[in-house]
A and B are shown apart, each in its own frame.
Chain A
Amino acid sequence: MASSSTSVVVSNKEKENKNTKKVTLKSSDGESFEVDESVAMESQTIKHIIEDGHYSSLALSLSVKTTMASSSTSVVVSNKEKENKNTKKVTLKSSDGESFEVDESVAMESQTIKHIIEDGCANNEIPLPNVTSGILSRVIEYCKKHKEAAGESEPSVTSYTSNSTTNPLTEWDTEFVKVDQNTLFDLILAANYLDIKGLLDLTCKTVADMMKGKTPQEIRETFHIKNDYTPEEEAEVRKENQWAFE
């Protein structure tokens, strides 16, 4: 991972046996990343360099942060001018007193927090008495991940995995909700209180999937629901909604 101010050398190397044109991006501390030309051209800056043909020995000063996402050719190239802007932060305080500093844009994934900030009542520390630290840290993780994917705040952020056919977030989301039932319900309530639609839909759909196809007794067992009907009442309800029980 290069530092916040690096220079990048772009060189063009055509591979003999393949038709896919590759380019090599070289960071200032000497690390080389070979990527498909088409992938590198997701960056408009690099695209213009390549198109202009001036790349054989041109070093650029950019504020570039490069990370290798995995061992395959997946590259995250982001162009974020850190010197000029100060990314605003807010502090969220959980019910058990723990403070979490997050980018304001990430925190604003929560409509509730968004309104607090916009109303000017923030003071940079927002107390969340309904959310414990354990849950809050997970919620922040969700918001961060989804904010990155949406790439709203930065002008030319691109992330791509070369061999993935599924939406990477779907897989991440599925893993994210693999938690015990208690945590799941805590997440639901937190998402509801903080008004984070994506998280609420995800967690509710997870619970729905836990209910689908199960008999009433199975559902009771899964969710520890106590059956307080008398046998007569239960028969009455069955008759009332007979069609659903057939």
Chain B
Amino acid sequence: MAEMKRCTNIDRISNLPWDVLDTILVHIPLKEAVRTSILSSKWRYKWTGLSRFNIDDKCFPSYLSDKVLRWKVILKIIHQVQSNHGGPVEKFRLAAYCMPNHCDLDQWIWFLTDKGIKELILKEFDSIKRFKLPPEVFSCPQLSCLELYGCIIMLSPTFRGLNSLISLNLSHIYISCDTLESLIANCPVLERLTLINIDHSTVFKISNLNLKYLKIDSKFEDICLKSVPLLSTVDIRLRVKPRHSDQGKACNLVRVIGCLYSINKLILSSNFLEFLAYNDVPERLPAMLNHLLTLDLRDARLDSSKVVKVLLSILCSSPSLEELIISVSPLCRYTFLDFQRSECLVGLYFNKLKVVKIRGLLSTNHECEFIKFILAHSPVLETITIVTYGGEIIPNSVLLQFEPASEHVKVISLRS
């Protein structure tokens, strides 16, 4: 028993094999991991060998608000790691308010690419000038997750592709159309692509056989989604008014959205809806979107008959639709939901539609008719939520007149 007692007082943690200790330390915040340097002389530089570094605002004392000084602290961390680090660095994440020195950042990224980085994440820091990203990043064989902010991306002529890249997130990036196209097309296992505020690319050409999720929130003049057979979710917001240029004769809706045969979820915002509306919108798409389950229109200018046509066209082409969400733009003074002109729509039943949410209605007659129509044509509808801006909510007396096809439907009418 005395033997047992002795055994329980042994320091077993300090002598753990390094990869095991790393597995432990990556679960504690970086600040605490660095504090282990004080535990004993053995521990002094253990933290510098971590495989994952997450530098965020929690690393800094609350009184340190100067962004340049914050960078100095980060630099200290980086230098210590660079001098002592033995093994691979799997993940580096920088998500702190600071002002990076481009030279330092450049050198550090270079170091990381050398260390076989798998996840490199640079989130919004305070930087107005863009820094040039070392092209070595794009030859990291193990890179699986790349999130970049505020850089200029140029690919070297020897760029072969990123064979392990699964997720790519570019925000406030300066990249040319061709470079972007090449980058996307040469990532064979890419699943998620997010593009926010991309400069210098007027046309987004996206072609990738594995891509499943696409989010765009940027300025652009045109977009081309080609060869994206697995694309399941699309979320696009156009930040500027579309230019009415004659991009061939085809309707944008048909050209861009009409070919997404496997799409499950469509989120279309404001100006992008106007973009899609250009050149005669057909009553129905040439091919049905048989897998579309969710349609979410945000900031929709339903005061434009063209935009309404886009909505109706998609509705007529989505037999499996389960969820319909419409947020009317607050800029609308009236809405133009003249759906009765659409022959396709009038005879249509939404056999799978379960949830409808419409916000920003102005309780005009057209809208009431539209809601009535939806109710009458949706036999399995479970809930419909209507939020009216200003004015009157649709009074209960009117709602009671509606004859819903679904027995158990719950009608919620609110005023915002």
Contact = CB atoms under 8 A, between A and B. Distances in A.
Contact of B10 (A209, A212, A224, A240): A224
A15 interface: no
B39 A225 contact: yes
A241 B34 CA distance: 7
Contacts, number: 102
A208 B11 contact: no
Nearest to B7: A182
Interface size class on chain B is 35 or more
Interface stretch (B24-32, B121-129, B192-200): B24-32
Interface stretch (B13-21, B170-178, B242-250): B13-21
B333 interface: no
Contacts of A223: 11-14
A234 B13 contact: no
B334 interface: no
- List the 10 shortest-distance A-B pairs measured between CB atoms, nearest first: A208-B27, A244-B34, A246-B61, A185-B12, A204-B23, A204-B24, A223-B13, A224-B11, A243-B73, A216-B38
A180 interface: yes
Given A216-B39, A225-B13, 5 more contacts: A182-B7, A185-B16, A204-B27, A224-B10, A227-B39
User: Chain A interface mostly helix, strand, loop or mixed?
Assistant: helix
Given A189-B20, A212-B32, A243-B73, A180 B8 contact: yes
Interface of A: 180-182, 185, 188-189, 192, 200-201, 204-205, 207-209, 211-213, 216, 219-220, 223-229, 233-234, 237-238, 240-241, 243-246
B66 to A, nearest CB: 13
B44 A225 contact: no
Given A216-B39, A238-B38, A246-B61, A226 B76 contact: no
Given A225-B39, A243-B76, A188 B16 contact: yes
A20 to B, nearest CB: 18
B262 interface: no
B20 A188 contact: yes
Contact of B8 (A181, A200, A225): A181
B37 interface: yes
A203 B278 CA distance: 59
A226 B28 contact: no
A237 B27 contact: no
Contacts of A204: 20, 23-24, 27
Interface string B396-415: 00000000000000000000
10 contacts: A223-B14, A224-B10, A225-B11, A226-B40, A229-B38, A229-B41, A237-B38, A243-B59, A244-B32, A244-B34
